[in-house]
């Protein structure tokens, strides 16, 4: 299993029908793009969230959140949220909205 299909399905449900959202295989998982900019994704059993880099320290202070680091070089503005921090639909929604808010602030690609 490259990524948690159940989590990906929950993310799809949370995103709803939006023609500006597309899916792309990326980072060994799946990414959900808003107007060509990654908002959230699923890697293994974690939720990837792209956030405002200025909000990263606040996000990292929350339980189950860590820096997204695939190459030994942490990526500013990218976090991984552990499964226990997205079990609850309201928590998943909060993280998905954070990703959408930041992706929506970027110019379309």
**The pLDDT value given to residue 1:** 55
Q: In the chain, how many domains are there?
A: 1
CATH label of the domain that carries residue 99: 3.30.1460.30
Q: In which domain, by residue range, is 43 found?
A: 5-104
**How far apart are alpha carbons 104 and 101 in whole angstroms?**
5
Q: What is the pLDDT of residues 19-73, one digit of tens each?
A: 999 999 987 899 999 999 999 999 999 999 999 999 999 999 999 999 998 778 8
Q: Cα–Cα distance between 62 and 48 in angstroms, integer?
A: 15
- Asked if the structure places residue 109 within a domain, the reply is no
* Cα–Cα dist 43/55, whole Å: 21
């Amino acid at each position: 299993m490259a990524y948690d299909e159940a989590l990906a399905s929950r993310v799809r449900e949370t995103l709803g029908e939006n023609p500006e959202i597309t899916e792309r295989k990326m980072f060994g998982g799946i990414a959900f793009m808003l107007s060509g900019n990654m908002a959230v994704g699923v890697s293994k059993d974690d939720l990837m969230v792209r956030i405002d880099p200025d909000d990263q320290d606040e996000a990292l202070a929350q339980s189950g959140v860590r820096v997204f680091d695939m190459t030994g070089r942490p990526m500013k503005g990218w976090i991984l949220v552990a499964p226990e921090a997205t079990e609850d639909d309201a928590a998943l929604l909060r993280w998905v909205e954070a990703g959408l808010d930041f992706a929506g602030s970027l110019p379309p690609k």
